[in-house]
Copies of this chain bind each other. A is one copy, B any other.
């Protein structure tokens, strides 16, 4: 089983793994020069660089990241903490971040910080805080001030995605503006009885996302001179099942049924579509429904939504970190932000077939 006789063996001819000294010998230079050449240090002549690169390739040399990290203090590894993995938003952010990191030769190690007890502390102390990662990306995770402070004291750059962290740069959509946009879309279509399905207060993964989206919704109504009606507000847990239940409440009312629903997430919006169907209502003829996310199922359900781009957010988070980790030659690559600012990320209204003019407006 040791040799499968593949073409790869050619590169792997030596019995033991080649070290930097083997490369140095083969290239006729010192180990210092090998290190410099391979790390893109500018003070190496082009011919030397090439000789080293060739020798390294011929020997199948790859640096030992441990030795390198130990000597340099950099691990080329970043930690990502998430509260869950199998939800669309989180896994998309991680996918985007991972892609961006790989491109730069970094690794991504994943920490699922769901348990908030001892386990969380262990991860924090033993993994994140120490020499395993150069920086951390916190996805929709509320870190305590103490946690943030220790990371910063250790000089580890930290960036948040999906919600503001105290004193930390965070990438997030403007939840309020997003909600207002969706609601405005409904208002512009002629709707006046617009319900809202927000997030449960106890939904602890987020920051003030439910509140902010509700405020955007209210603001849109305000500006249109539409009075707020408590009966048109429900909360759920951001899932399809939750949205389904909430929408049943909203749509089952015998009178003064809303003509439109703005759900704070696509999954809840999809639940609403299914609830409407089960009640014999046609979407969008009897009821218009809009969400937020552009979830992978949004297209299938022809859902009008405000898209956010979590994978792009993950990539952006990496760019922010790289700015701190590897000061660019041109320091104005990205516009500078406050160390503790919220960095807005793009969003976009995607109109599909779940919204239209209300019937009684015709």
Binding site for B on A (CB under 8 A): 1-4, 6-8, 12, 17, 60, 62-67, 69-70, 75, 77, 84-86, 88, 91-92, 94-95, 98-99, 102, 105, 107-112, 119, 122-123, 125-127, 129-132, 144-146, 148-150, 152-154, 167, 240-241, 244, 277, 296-297, 299-300
Contacts and interface: CB of A to CB of B under 8 A. Distances in A.
Nearest to A105: B126
A230 to B, nearest CB: 28
Contacts of A127: 107
Contacts of A129: 62
23 contacts: A1-B153, A2-B153, A6-B149, A7-B146, A8-B146, A62-B129, A64-B130, A65-B132, A67-B70, A67-B131, A77-B109, A85-B91, A85-B92, A85-B94, A85-B98, A86-B296, A95-B112, A99-B112, A105-B126, A108-B109, A109-B109, A241-B299, A241-B300
How many chain copies? 2
Given A86-B88, A107-B132, A146-B7, A1 B126 contact: no
Given A146-B4, A153-B2, A66 B62 contact: no
Contacts of A67: 66, 70, 131
Contact of A94 (B64, B110, B148): B110
A244 B302 CA distance: 14
Contacts of A110: 94, 98, 108-110
A9 B125 CA distance: 13
Given A125-B62, A150-B12, A300-B241, A102 B119 contact: yes
Given A69-B66, A240-B297, A277-B277, A149 B4 contact: yes
A55 to B, nearest CB: 16
A77 B66 CA distance: 12
B112 A62 contact: no
A330 to B, nearest CB: 26
Contact of A153 (B3, B84, B122, B130): B3
7 pairs of A and B residues whose beta carbons are closest in the complex: A4-B149, A6-B146, A86-B91, A66-B69, A66-B70, A109-B109, A85-B91
Nearest to A297: B240
Given A65-B130, A92-B86, A300-B244, A98 B112 contact: yes
B85 A150 contact: no
Contacts of A102: 111-112, 119, 122-123
Contacts of A240: 297, 300
Contacts of A2: 149, 152-153
A284 to B, nearest CB: 16
B109 A107 contact: yes
A174 B7 CA distance: 34
Contacts of A4: 145-146, 148-149
Contact of A1 (B63, B88, B111, B149): B149
Nearest to A148: B4
Nearest to A92: B86
A1 B167 contact: yes
Contacts of A84: 95
Contacts of A277: 277
A151 to B, nearest CB: 11
A108 to B, nearest CB: 5
Given A86-B92, A107-B111, 18 more contacts: A1-B153, A2-B149, A2-B153, A3-B149, A6-B145, A8-B149, A12-B150, A17-B154, A60-B125, A62-B126, A62-B130, A64-B70, A66-B69, A77-B109, A86-B91, A102-B123, A109-B109, A241-B300
